[in-house]
Amino acid sequence: MEVSLPLEIDTVKGFLDSREGNALYRLAADASNLGPCLEVGSYCGKSTVYIGSACKLMNNTLFAVDHHRGSEEHQPGEEYHDSDLFDIRSQLMDSFHNFRSNMRAAQLEEHVVPVVAPSAVAARHWNTPLGLVFIDGGHSLQAALTDYRCWARHIVPGGYLAIHDIFPNPQDGGQAPYEIYKLALASAQFELVEIVKTLAILRRVQ
């Protein structure tokens, strides 16, 4: 399937490689036959544009879960801090305004539903079966475990779990996403479909 995006993706702040984004686009289009899609960790919406564009094409919906206060590495003084996203009034990170602007520019507001809340809060009363869950939230072990435990159970059989920033070698990057990737495989509920750069794609088999 040819990837068709409604705006220049490089104008959207984020850390998703284009090959990974294209893989998510195709995955979301495939998963749309099974149920809505959900991502954890939208930031300014780069992955949201890829997944949401596929959902728009397939007349599906993407739920975009993010508290928009930034992960640990986005805070002042940390490696990935972006001062443009720091709200002087609240003295907090706030990526939501940027996110909404990007959704409007991408003409995705009727297909992307922002859920502005921590992952565990958003999942507390969740009952909707999902065709795809994409995890790219906080990279502490606790945050990654929370995202996996909250959302993987809602994926329907045949649906997909995608996890970003998989680094088997600790020297290449943080290990929390890799740990939940191993946990998913060890559960026997998921099988590996493919790995695209640092994006692991798994299918729920039971």
52 belongs to a structural domain: yes
Residue 178, in any domain of the structure:
yes
pLDDT at position 33 is: 94
Please provide residue 192's backbone torsions phi and psi, each rounded to the nearest 5 degrees: -75, 130
Local confidence band at 81 (pLDDT 50, 70, 90 cut-offs): confident
The domain that holds 170 is classified in CATH as 3.40.50.150
**Residues acting as catalytic residues:** 139
**Spatial distance between the Cα atoms of 145 and 131, rounded to a whole number of angstroms:** 20
Residue 85 domain flag: no
Instruction: Give the pLDDT mean for 86-96.
Output: 81
Domain limits at 62? 13-67+111-204
DSSP per-residue string spanning 174-206: -SHHHHHHHHHHHTTSEEEEEEETTEEEEEE--
In a domain, 24, yes or no: yes
State yes or no: pLDDT of 73 exceeds 80: no
Total number of domains constituting the chain: 1
Q: Is residue 35 part of a domain?
A: yes
pLDDT digit string (tens) for 101-116?
Answer: 999 999 999 999 999 9
Angle at which helix 141-151 crosses helix 176-186, to 10 degrees, equals 40
Residue 154 structure tokens? 């809602």
Beta-carbon-side half-sphere exposure of residue 82 (alpha carbons within 13 Å) = 14
| 171 falls within a domain | yes
In a domain, 118, yes or no: yes
Whole-number pLDDT of residue 60: 98
In a domain, 2, yes or no: no
pLDDT at 78: 73
Residue 68's identity, in one-letter code, is H
The whole-number average pLDDT for the span 127-132 is 98
